[in-house]
Amino acid sequence: MDKILIHGGRPLSGSIKISGSKNSALPILAATLLTREPCILHRVPDLSDTHYMLQILMHLGAQVERASGTVTVNAEKIESIAPYEVVRKMRASVCVLGPLLGRCKEATVSLPGGCVIGDRPIDLHLKGFEALGAAIRVEGGNVKVFAPKLTGAIINLTGKFGPTVLGTDNVMMAAVLAEGITVIEGAATEPEVVDLADFLNKMGAKIEGAGTRRLIIEGVKELHGAEHDIIPDRIEAGTFLVAGAIAGKGVTIKRVVREHVSSVTDALIACGYQIQWAENSITVSPNGAVKPLEIATEPYPGFPTDMQAQMCALLSTTEGISVITENIFPQRYMHVAELKRMGAHVQLEGSTAVIQGVERLFGAPVMASDLRASAALVLAGLKAEGRTEVSRVYHIDRGYEHLDEKLSELGAHIERVKA
The catalytic residues are 115
Half-sphere exposure of 277 (CA within 13 A, CB side): 11
Burial of 81 (0-12, 13-18, 19+ CB in 10 A): middle
310 in Cβ contact with 338 (< 8 Å): no
Amino acid at 54: L
CA distances to 57, 193, 362 from 209, in Å? 29, 11, 48
Q: What is the Cα gyration radius of the chain?
A: 21
List Cβ neighbours of 76 (8 Å cut-off, separation of 6 or more): 36, 37, 63
List Cβ neighbours of 279 (8 Å cut-off, separation of 6 or more): none
- Nearest-10 crossing angle of helices 97-104, 22-31: 20
Half-sphere exposure of 142 (CA within 13 A, CB side): 14
Say how far apart CA 121 and CA 97 lie, in whole Å.
14
